[in-house]
Structure 1
Amino acid sequence: MHHAIIHTAFDLLAVTLAVAVGWVVYRWRLHEQLVKTAASVSSGYFIALSLGSITGAFFFGTLNLYLMGLHDIGRSVLGALFGAIMMVELYKLRRGARGSTGYIYVVPFCVVIAIGRLGCFFSGMEDQTYGVPTGLPWGHDFGDGIMRHPVPLYESFSMLAFMVFTLLTLKSHKDIIIRYGFYLCVGFYGAQRFVWEFLKPYAAIGPLNMFQYLCIGLIIYSSIMIYGAGHAHRTA
């Protein structure tokens, strides 16, 4: 119960700050473009986004626990992102919508990960996001008396760094973020998460764990979409 309270508190803080920071960024640099983007989608977009993220979060989170031999219900932010992308892209394909619609979520997503992973870190072993044992000086005892890689902090700092990059780019070249920002974020998140997964004691499926296969999918998606967006811009 203690770890659940800690995690919930950080989750609420993460969402609150993400909404607040997202609003500031929207008013600062994205207001004009978002009006145009909003006109190209309907309520179906948000239904697809919600269904995809919720389904992906619980399906992949629970599947990972099952593969670890734990019969419990889990949630996964990686699964949520993967599910949301799949559903939104299917919606856009059916509607014939083109161009990136996810740039507004880049900074809020970074905030959610950066703050939310602190909740994972302070929740201890029961959160199931701890790392493998390490002899490095920054190893952390998650509650079992063993010094382990503080993987949640690695992910938190990585996404914080990407957020800084995004804000600096928005300040000087906002068109880059509007056109490529979401895809860059997805690719970066997938790449850094792929690396950190080697430091987690998750069950493997072949040479990799389940989340690493999802990361590969995100990296491929990101690469294809960046290439497509660049090609469309050059031929416009």
Structure 2
Amino acid sequence: MDIPFEPIVAGYKLNIHLLLEYLAFFIGYRYYVYLKRNSNDVITTSNRLYIILGAAIGALLGSRIVGVLEHPLALSNQPLLYLLNSKTIMGGLFGGLLGVELAKKIIGEKHSSGDLFTLPIIVGIFIGRIGCFLMGTNEFTYGKETVFFMGMDLGDGILRHPIALYELLFLILLFFALKAFSKRNTENGAVFKYFMLAYFGFRFLMEFLKPNQFFILGLSTIQILCITCWLYYYKFIFKAMKHAR
């Protein structure tokens, strides 16, 4: 199989990444419905709907804003097209987080709501990243040139770090680790917070392997967002460190 993988069906070239994105949303949501049906959710159905709406709006805005900021210099070339096509899961996750918190303030919901979404989010990201991997250098999820044994030709004839493949392996480990943790953890909201800290920490490190071109103080836009996420959860981090001691 060649990468980028662009299958032709009935004379039409399929965008495998777009198809897997739709599949990720569908399977992720169905998995969420399954988990909710088999859980003792303390949040009412109506409040859950408002929370999901807040998450969706926040994720949409966050994904687009951070996507543009990741390569702001590209705005000078076809700015409208770039605005429409720029998106990143990192901005979507953090924007969704802010959207949820705002929605909860509006409706007066006090309970943590993220745990039930955590595993479905991981499953959705995993499916989406398969699409990123299959798109090769057509998606900015490839790494720098490397002589590392896992280096792959992702479509441009150069051996590169397969960043998307690294992430797939990480997500498998994270899924089972958090699933096991959720069975013995009693603190509401902790599973989602550990997911955010772990995933954003992983992505911070992976950015050093990507051929980024825009930096602020030597860090990419995604790395600055990762630091922002960790600062957002600073109280939880200190609490977890104190508990560990």
TM-score bracket for the superposition, by shorter chain length: 0.7 to 0.9
Instruction: Assess if the C-alpha contact under 8 Å between 1:114 and 1:159 holds in 2.
Output: yes
How many residues of Structure 1 are paired with residues of Structure 2 in the alignment?
225
Deviation at 1:48, TM superposition (A): 2.0
Q: 1:111 aligns with which of 97, 107, 123?
A: 123
Comparing 91-100 with 136-145, which one deviates more in the overlay? Answer: 91-100
The normalised TM-score by structure 1 is 0.84
Q: Which aligned pairs between 1:105-144 and structure 2 lie closer than 5 A?
A: 105-144=117-156
Identity of aligned residues (%): 30
The AA in structure 1 aligned to 2:209 is L
Match of 1:157, SS? helix
Task: Measure, in 2, the Cα distance between the counterparts of 1:224 and 1:159.
Answer: 25
SS in 2 for 1:37: coil
Compute the displacement of 1:223 (Å).
3.4
| 152-161 vs 184-193, which moves further | 152-161
Q: Describe the superposition over 1:171-208 as per-residue Cα deviations: whole angstroms up to 9, x where unpaired.
A: 3x1524x4301111111111001010111111212210
State the partner residue of 1:38: 44
1:50–1:84 CA contact under 8 A, matched in 2:
yes
Counterpart selection for 1:194 from 187, 199, 204: 204
Q: Residues of 2 paired with 1:77 and 1:129: CA distance? A: 11
Pick one of 57, 62, 70 that aligns with 2:63: 57
Q: 1:106 to 1:42 in 2, by over 3 A?
A: closer
Q: From the two aligned structures, give the one with the greater helix fraction.
A: 1
Alpha-carbon RMSD across the aligned residues, in angstroms, is 2.7
For 1:149, the equivalent position in structure 2 comes to 161
Q: What is the CA-CA distance between 1:23 and the residue it aligns to?
A: 3.2
Matched, 1:87 2:99: yes
Please tell me whether residue 22 in structure 1 is matched to residue 22 in structure 2: no
Contact in 2 for aligned 1:51/1:87 (Cα 8 Å)? yes
The whole-number CA distance in structure 2 between the counterparts of 1:68 and 1:148 is: 23
The reply to whether residue 97 of structure 1 matches residue 90 of structure 2 is no
Q: Which amino acid aligns with 1:13?
A: L
- Cα distance 1:217–1:170, how it changes in 2: closer, same or farther (>3 A)? same
Post-superposition offset of 1:94: 4.5
More deviation in 19-28 or 216-225? 19-28
Q: Distance in 2 between matches of 1:63 and 1:18?
A: 27
Change (3 A) 1:51 1:230: farther
Higher mean C-alpha deviation, range 222-231 or range 80-89 = 222-231
Shift of 1:116: 1.0
Asked whether the 8 Å contact 2:182–2:191 carries over to 1, the reply is no
Task: Name structure 1 gaps, 5 residues minimum.
Answer: 232-236
- What secondary structure is seen at the aligned counterpart in 2 of 1:205? coil
Conserved? CA contact 1:180–1:229, under 8 Å = no
Is residue 7 of structure 1 aligned with residue 13 of structure 2? no
Partner in structure 2 of residue 66 of structure 1: 72
Evaluate the alpha carbon distance shift between residue 91 and residue 27 of structure 1 in structure 2; reply closer, same or farther with a 3 A threshold: closer
Contact 1:131–1:201, Cα closer than 8 Å, also in 2: yes
The corresponding residue for 1:234 is: none
Partner Cα separation in structure 2 for residue 216 and residue 210 of structure 1 = 10
Shift of 1:133: 0.8
Q: Identify unmatched segments of 5+ residues in structure 2.
A: 7-12
Deviations 1:60-117 (A, max 9, x none): 1123233467652311110011111122223334444323111111001111121211
